[in-house]
Amino acid sequence: MIKSLKYPFCTIDVYNTFVISRINEGFHLTPDKNKVLEDIAKDYFNNRPFVYITHRKYSYSVDPSIYLQTSKVKNLVGFAVVAEAPLSKGNAEIEKLFLDKPFEIFNDLDDAIAWAESLISNE
């Protein structure tokens, strides 16, 4: 891990080719929070491709319109959701419709990381 970043609504761990976020319990994620992702893309990846992995350990809600803005992050090459709860997986299936990037849902964090690394190696 390069760095662990803490925000009032989440923690994001930055690695060489991907980030792993954990959104806080009960939070409602809205498009204004996308500035954090844009800053990380610029500050840590400097136009290098990366994958965003959200590890849904806690229950929270997402405004799907956030993905319209996320799709504009040029060096973001994929988005993964790691979730065990059926509701979280169902929500992710709906969110997937709003993102114009590869988007996969996983049960296991290691599987999501392997997928992220395969996406980067194909860039």
Where residue 39 sits, what CATH number does that domain have?
3.30.750
Q: Summarize pLDDT for 55-85 with one digit per residue, the tens.
A: 999 889 999 999 999 999 999 999 999 999 9
Which pairs from 67-73 meet CB under 8 Å and 24+ separation? 67/95, 67/98, 67/99, 68/31, 68/98, 69/31, 69/34, 70/34, 70/37, 70/99, 70/101, 71/98, 71/99, 71/100, 71/101, 73/37, 73/38, 73/41
Does pTM top 0.75 for this prediction?
yes
User: Which structural domain, as residue segments, surrounds residue 38?
Assistant: 3-121
| Residue % of the chain over a pLDDT of 90 | 93
Residues of the chain with pLDDT under 70: none
Domain count within the chain: 1
pLDDT at 81: 97
